[in-house]
Structure formats: C-alpha cells, structure tokens
Structure 1
Amino acid sequence: MMKKQKEKSILNKIFVGIVFTILLIYTISLFIPVVWAFLTSLKGYNDYSINMNILGFPTLDPNNFDNSREQFFHLKNYQDFFKVFKFGEGEIPFWSRGEQIVHYRGAVGPFGMLLNTLMLTIGGAFLQTIVPAIMAYALAKFDFKLNKVIFAVSIICMTVPIVGNYPAMLTFLRDSRLYDTMLGYMLMKCNFVGMYFFVFYGFFKALPNSFSEAAEIDGASYYRILLSIILPLSITTLSAVFIIQFVSFWNDFQTTYMYMPSYPTLMYGLWFFAVAKSSGDLSRITWRMAGGMTLMIPILIAFIFLKDKLMGNVTMGGLKQ
C-alpha cells in the first residue's frame, strides 16, 4: 500500500514538473517578442540595418560610426515617432442612397488620436459590458415568450460564422447616414451577442432569487432592483469584463479603418503608417517599435493597477437565509 502511494506521489511530481516546464517555456516565449521590440526601439536605424544588429543589445561604442548612443540615452526614436505620427487634413467620400457624401477630417496629431481612442475605447467597452449584462439578467431571471428564442439566437451567432456581416453593416450605416459618426459607432456596440453574455447569464442564473424577492417585498421596482442590488453584486464580474473589453478596443484598428475614418485612433495611426504605407517616415522598424512600446504602456499600467479586479473572485453577501 505504501509502495503504491509512493509511486503515485512520484508520478504526480513528474507530471507537475512537466506541466510547469511547458508553462514556463510558453511564458518566456511571450516575453521574448516584447523584449526584442523594446531593445529595437533603442537602436539607431543604421545600427539595425547596416550593422545588422537585429537580435543584439544596442551598439553603444562611440568609435562605431553607426552606434545607437543617441537613441539609447536620449530616446531619440521615441521623440522622432511623435514628430511624424499625425494625420493631415483630408476628405472622406462615400456613397449613400446613390448620393456621394463627403466628411471633412481636420489635422489630427497624437493628442487628438489619444482623445479619439479614449472616447471609442471607453464608450465601446462600457456598452459591450452593460448591454450583455442587462440582457443576460433579463433572460436568466424572467420567463417570457421570446426568452428561449433570444438565447438560441445568441448561441447561433456564436457558433455559426455570419458571412458578409461587415459589408452588410457598412451598407446599413451608409444608407442610414450613420457611417463615420459617433452615434453610429455607439449603436453598433449596443449588442449583447458574444462570449460575455454567457458569462453574465451563468452568474445571474446562479444568483439566489431571495435577493430580488426581499427587495420586492420592500416595494422596489425591477429597475431599482437591477441598479441597486443586482449590478452592485456583480461589480467584480462587470469590472473584469470591462477591463478585458477595454484592452480589446484599445488594440482595435479595424473598426476605425472600416467605420470611423474621420476619428483616427492611436492603433489605427500606427497600423496606417507602419503597414498600409510601404514607405514614409514610420517605415523604419526602429520607429515602429518605439510606437508600439509607447502604445503598450497605458495597457501595462492599467493591468498593474487593476489586476486584482481582473483576477479577483466573485463574492456575494448581505442576506441571511
């Protein structure tokens, strides 16, 4: 008996060791691109391209004509990035109901792109958090005729790829004159379909009805119960979903590219100058890496300060059974 337990203990240790090694290698593989991008952002363009210093530390030897001392000690790549990172004035033409509409876009610099990013990111993350939560609560706690139909539609939209969704949405927004407008963007985000709808649905389904029943006895309306009891109880889940959505919208450039060209965001700007334009100021890999590291800083800071909210356990209390 003791021999079997000892063998089982050894096998468990071997299994844990193998899993730990795999996870450690995977974690290191995630850090390597970030470290490489950071070191590249501190290199001079000649050091990277002429010296072929692609994987090494920045060359700081003053005797080397193509050294990276200025970029390393004075963050020259970051300074140059902000000097050229801007959009000039332009027109955004599109067709709507057989008529050509032209939106005018003024010059937009890094600060303007930051404001656009914050508006679209915070607004989109808020709507994509609160709308699924409210719909999930309604389906989990109220029995009505379309309950199962709406739930089935949610599952279908999650499992079946909707071919041609983007062109259809683009045509609808243009014909309704909502294309390239903040109102159109916010209406696009007022949908509940997605993975987090099921997260909220499972949470509210497991929530005891005694919470709302006690409030109903005291004369609270459905809206008061939702706002004063249900949402505060789910604040940890709401916060975690909001943070995840915030990161997703911060990194999103496709929405701006397709639906909001007059509101360039930071990620859209970085993509446009670094990828869409094969030549130009930001075609330099060192400047692109400086831009990428700059745009990563807000997300890194947000994660450091909000990691407890993101990883915390959902706790409930306040009612004696």
Structure 2
Amino acid sequence: MKRTKLQKAVIGLFFVLFVLYALSLIFPFLWTLYNSFKTNREFFAEGGIWSLPQQWMVSNYAKVWNEYNMVTYFWNSIKLTVIGTAISVLSAAMASYIVAKYDFKLKRVIYITAISVMLIPAIGSISALYKFMNETGLYNTHFGIILLYSSGLGLNFIVLYGFFLGVSWSYAEAAFVDGASDWQVFAKVMIPQAMPALGAVSIITGIGLWNDYFTPWMFLADKDKFTLALGLRQIVLEQAYAADWPKMFAAMIVATVPILIVYSLFQKTLIENTVAGGLKG
C-alpha cells in the first residue's frame, strides 16, 4: 500500500526523534570514554572537555585498577549479582510454579500479595528493613544484601507465573505416572520448558542488581565490602576538589563495560526469550 505524504511525514518525524533519543543515550558514554584517555591538565585546558585526546593515556585504566581498589569493588559486585540473581530467580520459579499449577486455598491470596508488594515504594519500608538488619546482625554483611536481593520476587514471580500457566501439564502427568516426585517434575520437566522465561528474567535481574546503588549504600559501611556503584562514589568523595577527572571517567567506564558486554552478547537471546515467554504465557 502506497503511503500518503502525511504518513511519510509522521514516519520521518518518528525517525528523527528516535535518532535524537539514541544520541542522547550514546553521547554521554562516548564523551566519558574519550575523556578517560586524557591527562588532567589536558582535560582542564581551554576546550579540553570537547577535543579528542592528544595523547591516549591507556595508563589511566591501569592506575585506576591498582590505585582505587577496583578489584575489590569489582569482585563484590560480581559475587552479589550472581548469587542474588540465582537465588531470586530460583525462588520466583518455585513459587510461581506452585501457584500456577497447583490448587490450594491461599493460591489467590499469594498471587494478589505478590502484585501488591510491587506497589509499595522501597523507601516506605526502609526504616523497618534498617532496624531488622541491625537487630539481626545482617547490617554491613554481604549475606544481608543477598537476602534482600533474594526477597525481591515481584516482577520475576509475575513473569514466570504467566509462563507456567501456558506450559502443558501433560508431560508432568506422564512423569507422575512413572513415579516422579514433585521436585523431579519441577526440576526435570518444567524447568527445561521454562528456560526462555528464566533466561529473560535472569538477564534483567542481573542488570538491575549490578547497577543497584541504593541497597548497598543503605546497608554497607566498610569500604572493602562496597560494590562498584558505591566504589565510584567513594572515589569521588576521596578525590574532593583535587579530582583527577580522566581517572574517574576511566573508573566509570570500567564499571559500565561489563554490563554492556553481557547485554551485547545476550541481547538476541533476551529478545527471543521475552517474546517466547510472552507467547507461551
């Protein structure tokens, strides 16, 4: 069908808006990237913040890695993200499977509660959580952070619940006839069928935990337990007015690149799994 002039104009407008939006996202990263290769003097020279580096100081990254305790921050972020994501997704998978596939009295109550919890602002429960963490000795521990991450089932529960509703029960019935237990049916029959949805929620959850700043900021006090997000803040505070901005930019890139790599590698998988999960649900 031939497009009218109005339709072409609308499409052109949307294209321009999309390009502008994409540039607004890409430009800050590129600006930070090329400024991370400058010397501090070059950065503060006239017009220095916009010009390309005269001498590409790759050594800024080595200095950041060695001087700013980035190894510790990096390891802490990996540990909390991987363990928190694994426990959160597994817990949501078990809970959503039970609610979706079994009939019991509190089934509807549990589902409504899972949705309702998402409507409560995180700031509304911060006082109670802070008191709980202090009184139980979980404050300033990675175990406490992992426990908080693991309890955030809301979105994962809803996504996986919708997926399990659409999964055929015939395979499970056949497994039960062959003498399989509930756990065996879940682990060997249902989980393989749910891999598209599990893959999608794992990537989304992992990105969210990696970028999380608020939870570690509230419940961690020792520098050697900080994540990358808190570590960047600590670097800025310690530099104060004598800041070496190119090095700080290098630290930001170090914190950002891993998640960009992960997303780039799994972008196609994420989209395919999300679509598959939506169709299945």
Q: TM-score range by the shorter chain?
A: 0.7 to 0.9
Structure 1's 29 and 163: CA in aligned 2 closer, same or farther, altered over 3 A?
closer
* C-alpha separation in 1, matches of 2:28 and 2:137: 42
Residue of structure 2 in register with 1:32 after alignment: 27
**Deviation (angstroms), 1:211:** 2.6
**Deviation (angstroms), 1:192:** 4.8
Is 1:214 the counterpart of 2:174? The answer is: yes
Query: By percentage of residues, which structure has more strand?
Result: 1
Q: Which string of whole-angstrom CA distances, capped at 9 and with x for unpartnered residues, describes residues 81-114 of structure 1? A: 224303xxxxxxxxxxxxxxxxxxxxxxx32322
Aligned length: 274
**Deviation (angstroms), 1:116:** 1.6
Contact 1:158–1:195 under 8 Å retained in 2: yes
Is 1:273 the counterpart of 2:235? The answer is: yes
* C-alpha separation in 2, matches of 1:268 and 1:183: 17
Report the AA paired with residue 119 of structure 1.
K
Instruction: Tell me: higher relative CO, structure 1 or 2? Use CA pairs within 8 A at least 6 residues apart.
Output: 2
**Deviation (angstroms), 1:124:** 0.9
Residue of structure 2 in register with 1:77 after alignment: 60
**Deviation (angstroms), 1:182:** 3.4
RMSD across aligned C-alpha pairs, in angstroms? Answer: 2.3
Is 1:146 the counterpart of 2:106? The answer is: yes
Residue of structure 2 in register with 1:104 after alignment: none
* C-alpha separation in 1, matches of 2:84 and 2:262: 17
Residue of structure 2 in register with 1:42 after alignment: 37
Residue of structure 2 in register with 1:305 after alignment: 265
**Deviation (angstroms), 1:77:** 2.2
**Deviation (angstroms), 1:11:** 4.8
Structure 1's 162 and 77: CA in aligned 2 closer, same or farther, altered over 3 A?
closer
**Deviation (angstroms), 1:226:** 0.7
Query: Which residue, out of 103, 109, 114, partners 2:74?
Result: 114
TM-score by length of 2: 0.87
Structure 1's 45 and 183: CA in aligned 2 closer, same or farther, altered over 3 A?
closer
Is 1:161 the counterpart of 2:121? The answer is: yes
* C-alpha separation in 1, matches of 2:67 and 2:271: 38
Contact 1:135–1:192 under 8 Å retained in 2: no
* C-alpha separation in 2, matches of 1:196 and 1:227: 18
Report the AA paired with residue 58 of structure 2.
L
Query: By percentage of residues, which structure has more helix?
Result: 2
**Deviation (angstroms), 1:266:** 2.2
Report the AA paired with residue 234 of structure 2.
F
**Structure number with bigger Rg:** 1
- For structure 2, the residue ranges without an aligned partner over 5 or more in a row are none
**Deviation (angstroms), 1:271:** 1.6
* C-alpha separation in 2, matches of 1:196 and 1:18: 36
Is 1:249 the counterpart of 2:232? The answer is: no
Query: How do 1:188-267 and structure 2 match up within 5 A?
Result: 188-262=148-222, 263-267=225-229
SS in 2 for 1:312: helix
* C-alpha separation in 2, matches of 1:152 and 1:36: 45
* C-alpha separation in 1, matches of 2:171 and 2:11: 42
